[in-house]
Homo-oligomer: A and B are copies of this chain.
């Protein structure tokens, strides 16, 4: 079994991730890619600046991957999240999971992205073609709920 995670400031090489999880023991590989999307909430996006609480993000991503590997028994898991200025279509996150069976490969992949969205301390400032920009608060409601649970 191999598990590797990284917070990176360079382009994510999807083919390299694929090679990394590939071996002859597994029947199924599921790859999830998140991209910078042109439209968000009706506004035309020109790019996104990703920032993070770097050290904690590295720890949390590693923790998510460990939990996933333990829970689903994945054979190989590689996850990279990119920071910095991303352009339209750029890959912001890539998750590659290999498993002997497909059901677990899908579930493990989904687990990682959902936990990333829930708890990875990363923020994005979306730039729009009209020259404005805004912090994206996609997880705002979940965030308030989590904060309240902790009171």
Measuring CB to CB, which residues of chain A are less than 8 angstroms from any residue of chain B?
A: 14-15, 18, 22-39, 88-89, 100, 102, 105-106, 109-110, 113
Task: List B contacts of A33 (CB < 8 A).
Answer: 18, 28-31
Oligomeric state, in copies: 2
Interface of A is mostly: mixed
A14 and B18 form a contact (CB under 8 A): yes
Asked if A35 meets B22 with Cβ closer than 8 Å, knowing A106-B110, A113-B102, the reply is yes
For A113, give the chain B residue with the smallest CB separation. B102
- A25–B100 alpha-carbon span in the complex (Å): 33
CA gap between A100 and B87 in the complex, in Å: 16
A33 to B109 Cα, complex, angstroms: 13
